Amino acid sequence: MRKSEIGGEGNQATALLNAAQDLFIEHGFHRTGVTEITERAGTSVGALYYHFGSKNEVYNALWSRYMETQAARAREAVTLLREAGVTDGRRLFLAGTRAYLSSAWDH
């Protein structure tokens, strides 16, 4: 298990993820090099391999982070309705789906 998976040295891992996300958006995955990621993050190539093992694993970590955020948004929408006394499953489902899809369109 890599340190980024257990929360150690999180600032460096987060900086790498943020830099990779920006570069993947700007240039695409295949046109972004590990050196570019680490330069933008202000770290070393060794740090990227230490935290993630490969550029593919950086992408996987970004995808996991995105999916966790999406799930949290959907969960929050459903929770708010439940706290307001809504018990209709269809309404709860639609609220969660709407929150998930709205966020997906924004990102």
Q: For residues 20 and 13, give the distance between their C-alpha atoms in angstroms, rounded to a whole number.
A: 11
Mean pLDDT score, 23-46: 97
106 in Cβ contact with 70 (< 8 Å): no
Q: What is the pTM of this model?
A: 0.78
**Chain segment 69-102, per-residue pLDDT in tens:** 999 999 999 999 999 999 999 999 999 999 999 9
